[in-house]
Chain A
Amino acid sequence: MVMSTQLFFSSAVDRMGNQQGRVNELQTQIATGKKVVTPSDAPDQATVISRLRSAVNRQEGFDRALTAVENRLTAEETALDSMQSALIRIQELAIQGANDTNGSQDRQALATEIAGLVDHMVGLANTQDVSGNYVFAGSDAKTRPYTTVNNEIVYQGDDVTSQIFVSEQQMLNLNRPGSKMFPPIQHSTDAGEDNKRSFFGALGDLVSAMNQGEYDGIHQGLEDVTDMVNSVSKSLADVGTDLTVVESRKEVLNDVKLRYQTLLSDAQDLDYSKAITDLSAEMLTLEAAQAAFAKISGQSLFDYIR
């Protein structure tokens, strides 16, 4: 087929321009380190990248949520741990106090120490986190949960246990209210009826029984303290379990994050060796095209007509 001179030149220029474009594209990819430089280069790929980027961001959000739960749990664990030691000490003191050989002054001295320990425990029950929230106050986090009303330590918080998402499917308890951590002590009376005494109320009773030398009260208090040690241990165990869950959740999360990041990197990041090889190949093609053009375009029949 005959080809006109004009078309010959214009198509050669077009082809070299396209080749130049491909070289430029590869060069930009290499310079940015990304496979998809503008979304329009590969709209389908860009969607995948956006989706994976969101997934990674979401996992980072969960990571922060887990850290928040962990901080909270650690604060609770510390408080509960100290409380347990205090209770064990109270238990020892109460056993001493239950001994008939003690005089009233000895018992009062013991009572004073117990009272000091109870104050310490109230302080622990009023633990605050870094943002100033009372850890054991339920959702009423701005109110000091254990305060003295009419010489009784009364719980002022509420019952709310907040939960937060630590993954798309799983929620964990963020806090445990004082009403659950330091539950009332159940007394079984002779009549077989159940009645209850608040946690710190029972401790107060023990102190006054020691002061007054009421042995029934001291024995009841001793029983109560044993119950309290048990319930605080149980609370500690609960918190410990939750901490374990947090730990394992964190591991899972890291795995998930890593997987998403790998996928993201696959989708987004440039394979340099391939890109550089491609670039040399394209450059070679371009140079060849240019050389060929230079040679062929110089050819004209007129050159040979002398």
Chain B
Amino acid sequence: MSDLLSLGTSGIQTYQKALSTVSNNIANLNTEGYSRQVAKSEETTPKSIGSGYLGTGSATTAIRRQYDAFLEDSLRQSSSNLASQEQLVKYAERLVNLLGSETVGLDNAFDQFFATAKELSADPASNVLRQSYLRDADTVASRFRELAGLMNEVGLESTEEFASNLDELNALASELAQVNKMMLKNASEVKQPPQLLDQRDLILRQMADLIPVTVRTNTIGQAAVSLTSSFNKGVIVSGVVAERARVDFDDTDPGNIRLIIEKTDGSIDELTGTSNGTLGGIVQFRQTVLDPILSGFDALAKSFADTLNQIQTTGIDGHGDFGQALFQIDPVFDVARDAASLTFDTDIQAEAGFTGLDEPIRVYFDELQNVWKSVDPVTQRPVTQNADGDLKFDGLTVRMTGTARTGDSITITSRDQAALTIQARLEDPLAVATSSVFRISHDEDNLGTSAPRVAYKPLPVRPEEQLIQETFGVTAAQFVSANASTRAQLGLVQAGARDLKAISQSSFDEPVSLHLMTREGVHIAGDPLSDGQLQALVDPVNGFVDDATYVGAYRNQTSQQAYRDLDVFVGLRGEAQTVDLASSPVDPRTGERTSVLSQSQYSGRLESKPLPAVSVAPGEDRTVIPAGALTVNGRAMPGLIAPVGGENLAVSTVVDWLNHTGAGNFAAAASNRTEFELDQIDLSSTLSINGSIINPSENGTVDTRGFISMRHMVESINAESEVTGVEASLTDRNSLILERVTDPDQPIELSSGSQFRYRHPFAPQQTTSLRSQIQIESVDPLADLEIRLTDTGTVQHLAALGLNAGIYLDGEAEEDLLLFAVGAGSKNTAFELSGSVDDPLNTQTEIETLRDSQFKLTFLDEETFQIHDLETDTLMGTRQLDAENLTNYRGIELSFDPNPRAGDSFVVDGNNTGPDGEFNAFANNENIIRVVELEFDPNAFGTGETIGEAYRQLFSLAGNRANQAAVARDALQVVKDQAVGARDAVSGVSLDEEAADLIRFQQAYQASAQVIQAAQTLFDRIISIR
């Protein structure tokens, strides 16, 4: 018979356990992470009694956690997603509130600035308004700085939060590893204490809040966690090992966040694309909100500063000068230590107006000299640390302190943080450039009623011109080889260039002439040009303005007749020289050497090349140089006539011709002197000079062995000089000079002296004739020698005398000049160029010189006008108005409405016609009007929208992002609520449910107790049977 007692006991035991499970559930009602537990009971194995089976009661088989891995996983995922959007909303809204704030926001600062500009445009002479304008500019700059600072602070906070969240993640990871370790005691997951499993799941949920996790559990319930979607990479907890995650932020790029897992085995996993969880939310914020807004804000500040500076610097301030930049943006320097040594410090000071480094500067430690050294990236010049410890660069001082070690070096780079560093730098109210650069006035006697307008619109500089200009300006003297087939543009002589000297190597047969012209087509210097040449030359391709008209009236003229009274000299100049001679004679009284400095004067002299062979065929015009084509030291030269009968022009004729005019002023003499470099001389050759054999053998013919030595040759030549008239001498510069001392106007005939030998020592030729040259010298020892070409003179005339020709511009070029070479044939010719430009590529210099001149515009008819320089009354060009009645003269844009009448004249000046050239256009508002226009000009800042709109765009970028994130957050909140509900339905503890269970189990327990009592009663009954 079945054991009632044990049946009852088993029931009691089962329900006792069930009751404690329910009680435990109730006790843990508010325990975070607790999963409801349920006691599972089963029927114990029944006993066979032949006719069937009798039950033996029940037993508790397990106490189960109510848990669904799938629901747990989706909860983790949804909480990751929600957390990221919450972060994004939180941070984006802070930016929105900063940018959109009425007090810190920039929009009303802009409004105020432009309102003041408008007021100033109505009364530009008012110092009070100028002061307000500067104050409002300062407000804009400081708002930029404040906002950038506050936004950077938000960025900094987000990095701090990121770091602290990461610490939390690391703590959770070690906790999880600890839990995993405790699980080792049990052989399977179901055997694990539920409390341990709850703890595991809670940790995982907390991790998922921070960052999305992929979880894998093994048979004993240990959880492995990866921060990526796979376990190949990003594993942070594996078994009992927890890895450490750390983060690197980039100072220069807020969106660049490197999340790195440093593994215990030493390897490194770098994670990318973290976009969910609290951490991912911060990454998203920095990448999609903070980074674009900060860089957009910087760009805004930069374009605002640049645009206003451009206007300010192309206008005239209250002092009458070009305006100074209104805003300054200081570059931020980054110093990278290339070497590990940390015992030194670097301090960088930039000069005001320093705009940043185009290239990095590398500073290295020179251990031999114990100083820091570098190379200036702009000037390429070496820079060495001075006694104060400073390295001085162009606009930059780098101070190195502390001790350096061998191999130490740093690299300095700079970047703009425009919004953070923008500053208004002007304080003087007069420094506001309200006025335009130029002004136009009409003549009172004009009959037309034209209202002219003038604006400063600098013409674009052509890049190819800049190139020439740069090499020209930087190099003091250089030879340029150019193909002079018909013409060659040698380059642009930039306005402001000084002391130009250009000389062409020319020959009589193929003369190459140099020409100096203005962009307007005024021929300043050079040979007369044919119509065909002019047509080819005066073309915009060659740097002329579009409607340049050729003007030849000023060509080769001097002083008052010259173009704008320029000091231009065409011809060739031998400069007088003063040479200091130092000697140290012995004082006869003291016997000591004393140092005496004496000066030696050398008058200006010119030495010609060997005269070319000039002959004129019989019957042709024998004039080689027409009368008046040349002046020598101011004396006009008479005509030079070639001999009758086709003979060559003799040197003596030329010398006589020169000396005839030059009496008392300059003197000419023939000379025949040639210098040979020693290594060009072939000693093994034979030599005959002027028909006399120099090295005869015993039988009187040439000695085929040549010369033994250089000295031998010199002595041999000099031994024959009585006969040949030629002397040789050696110099101390490794050369040998052959000079005809008697009859120097005659040639030196060199030959091998034998019809069988094909070279002589000086040239690989059988015979060579060295022709005479001419030396011309000023009589006055202090005077230059100047051979000038007049307007009838040509380069060929000088070439007939064996001389090169050139153009000299003494003083400063006030406008751009074009230099050309014109020649016949196709060949390379060498040019000698020198000159200097103080500040190459500076358009400001040109406009300054332009302002200092006044121009008179005289209309020839309704469209054509001439431009005269008022000071020198020089015709500078002729212009035609275009269809819109516009023209641009060197950056001065002129417009007339309606067309003037013939004879009307206008004067353009630089707004500085007050007494002593002072500024007097206080009420001119044309430049400040340009600022007013900026407010509503959508193209002013190159962004396609006004500055206010550009700012609002940034603001709405943050706003839209915050909006999107908020919408996503609300949607994800629902998802998460659902996931929480679903998990809760399985694992949550409901008091009502527990109460019902409690009653159910209690009743069952009581019933089981009744069974025992029944057994007792039965037993008692049986016992009591007597």
Interface residues of A (CB under 8 A from B): 1-7, 11, 38-40, 43-44, 46-47, 50-51, 53-54, 57-58, 60-62, 64-65, 68-69, 131-133, 137-143, 155, 158-165, 168, 174-175, 179, 184, 194-196, 198, 300-302, 305
Contacts and interface: CB of A to CB of B under 8 A. Distances in A.
Nearest to B92: A40
A3 B990 contact: yes
B94 to A, nearest CB: 8
A140 B988 contact: no
B122 A65 contact: yes
**Dominant SS among interface residues on chain A:** mixed
A4 B990 contact: yes
Contacts of A62: 118
B96 A51 contact: no
Interface string B929-967: 100110110000000000011001001101110110000
Contact of B100 (A11, A43, A155, A198): A43
Contacts of A165: 118, 121, 929, 932-933
B125 A64 contact: no
B444 A138 contact: no
Interface of B: 29-30, 36, 93-94, 96-97, 99-101, 105, 107-108, 110-112, 114-115, 118-119, 121-126, 435, 439-442, 444-445, 447, 451, 911, 913-914, 920-926, 929, 932-933, 935-936, 948-949, 952, 955-956, 958-960, 962-963, 977, 980-981, 984-985, 987-993, 995-996, 998-999
Interface of B is mostly: helix
Contact of A300 (B447, B959, B991, B999): B991
A277 to B, nearest CB: 24
Contact of A44 (B921, B956, B999): B956
B952 A164 contact: no
11 contacts: A5-B992, A39-B955, A43-B959, A50-B107, A65-B118, A131-B126, A140-B923, A142-B125, A160-B923, A301-B992, A301-B996
A44 B963 contact: yes
Nearest to B110: A54
Given A51-B952, A142-B125, A60 B96 contact: no
B995 A1 contact: no
Contacts of A139: 435, 439, 911, 921-925
A302 to B, nearest CB: 5
B314 to A, nearest CB: 17
A199 to B, nearest CB: 10
Given A139-B435, A143-B920, A301 B995 contact: yes
Contacts of B924: 139, 160, 162
Nearest to B114: A61
Given A5-B29, A133-B923, A46 B96 contact: yes
A1 B982 CA distance: 8
A43 B958 contact: yes
B925 A54 contact: no
B115 A57 contact: yes
Contacts of A64: 115, 118-119, 122
Contacts of A54: 107-108, 110-111, 948
A197 to B, nearest CB: 10
A260 B853 CA distance: 49
Contact of B991 (A5, A43, A61, A132): A5
A38 B97 contact: yes
Contacts of A194: 447
B521 to A, nearest CB: 29
Nearest to A7: B984
A65 B963 contact: no
B507 to A, nearest CB: 57
Closest A-B pairs by Cβ, 3 of them: A43-B959, A4-B988, A39-B100
Contacts of B992: 5, 300-301
A190 B97 CA distance: 80
Contacts of B94: 40
B936 A43 contact: no
B114 A58 contact: yes
Contact of A46 (B121, B441, B959): B959
A53 to B, nearest CB: 7
Given A54-B107, A64-B115, A179-B441, 19 more contacts: A5-B988, A39-B100, A40-B94, A43-B96, A46-B955, A50-B107, A51-B948, A54-B108, A64-B119, A69-B122, A133-B923, A142-B923, A162-B124, A164-B929, A174-B925, A194-B447, A198-B444, A301-B996, A305-B998
A243 B99 CA distance: 42
A47 B110 contact: no
A158 B122 contact: no
B955 A142 contact: no
Contacts of B125: 131-133, 141-142
Contact of B96 (A40, A53, A198): A40
B29 A133 contact: no
A131 B440 CA distance: 25
A164 B925 contact: yes
B962 A141 contact: no
Contacts of A305: 995, 998-999
A2 B993 contact: yes
Nearest to A50: B107
A2 B988 contact: yes
A121 B667 CA distance: 74
Nearest to A300: B991
Contacts of B963: 43-44
Nearest to A196: B445
B929 A300 contact: no
Nearest to A177: B441
A54 B111 CA distance: 6
Contact of A39 (B96, B444, B989): B96
Contacts of A158: 439, 441, 913, 920-921
Contact of B115 (A43, A50, A61): A61
Contacts of A47: 100, 952, 955-956, 959
A186 B600 CA distance: 70
A299 to B, nearest CB: 9
A3 B978 CA distance: 12
Contacts of A69: 122
Identify which of A2, A143, A160 gathers the most chain B CB atoms within 10 Å of its CB. Answer: A160
Contacts of B96: 39-40, 43, 46
A142 B929 CA distance: 20
Nearest to B129: A131
A65 B121 contact: yes
Contacts of A198: 444
Given A1-B985, A64-B122, A160-B921, A43 B441 contact: no
Given A46-B100, A165-B121, A174-B122, A57 B111 contact: yes
Nearest to A8: B990
A114 B441 CA distance: 31
Given A43-B96, A64-B122, A6 B988 contact: yes
A242 B125 CA distance: 23
Contacts of B990: 2-5
A133 B127 CA distance: 12
Contact of B995 (A3, A143, A302): A302
Contacts of B923: 133, 137-142, 160, 162, 175
Which interface residue of A2, A179, A305 has the most chain B CB atoms within 10 A? A2
B300 to A, nearest CB: 15
Given A64-B122, A141-B923, A301-B992, A40 B985 contact: no
B681 to A, nearest CB: 76
Given A158-B439, A168-B936, A305-B999, A50 B922 contact: no
Contacts of B442: 159, 179
Contacts of A168: 936
Given A68-B122, A196-B444, A58 B988 contact: no
B75 to A, nearest CB: 12
Contacts of B107: 50, 53-54
Contacts of B936: 58, 168
A36 B753 CA distance: 112
Contacts of B998: 305
